[in-house]
Amino acid sequence: MDKLLIDLKGRKYLFKGKDMHTKDGFISADEIKKAKLGTVLKTNKDVLMTVLEASFLDKYWKIKRGAQIIPIKDLGFIAAEVGLGKDWVVVDSGSGSGGSALFFANLCKKVYTYDIREDHLKIVEHNIEFLGLKNIVAKLHDIYSGILVKDVDMVLLDLPSPWEALEHAKSALKNGGWIVSYSPCIPQVMDFVEKVRASEGLLFFKACEITEQEWDVNERKVRPKSQAIGHSGFLTFVRKI
């Protein structure tokens, strides 16, 4: 069980088995190890921290980053929109830092993630080990040349030219399976949807983007935060029929 320390401002510290040094003070590793869940510890600067069991997301936020990852707001929407299930098999390309593969692996049966860069895959493998996931296969592979598995439930394309992998994705999918394309720019969406509509057996379902506006709530002083989480990418959903 991994432990998490959280202060009254919501700042979180993942316990890694060593003495914890923060800007709010120090707590020894022995003290944290002995503490039961729910125990409130005090740093040497008298800052209170509660000991909790670290959730998957608590640990997910601490993964190593290289390439930019798809934000949680988008990954959560993908999972909800396609109805991602615990028995699903998912193909993810390209891997980047592994954010998508890690997120979906926590929810489904198996994830295959591909990338053409060895440095990306080293980060992915580090993150797989860090989170203790056993159901991800990470491979050095160019998905534009094909997909190595069949009968999958979803293919996620986080690629510069997703339309070039469309037929491979269709061949890999079960009937009723999903292709989800994540693209930062609308011309990519336009070219992808045009290719989908020209491909027999694929149904364009929707294209959308997800924005998040967090609010400050302080008694009756309630207003949107100045920095909204705005555009990150466009999501295009396609189903094999």
What domains does the chain contain, in order, with CATH numbers? 3-54 (3.10.330.20), 60-240 (3.40.50.150)
Q: What is the pLDDT of residues 212-230, one digit of tens each?
A: 888 989 999 999 987 766 7
Mean pLDDT of all residues in the chain?
95
Give yes or no for residue 174 having a pLDDT over 70: yes
Mean pLDDT of 67-84: 95
Bridging pattern class, strands 136-140 and 25-27: unpaired
| Confidence (pLDDT) at 147 | 97
Q: What is the pLDDT of residues 76-85, one digit of tens each?
A: 999 999 999 9
Measured distance CA(108)–CA(117) in Å, rounded: 25
Q: How confident is the model at residue 241 (pLDDT cuts 50, 70, 90)?
A: very high
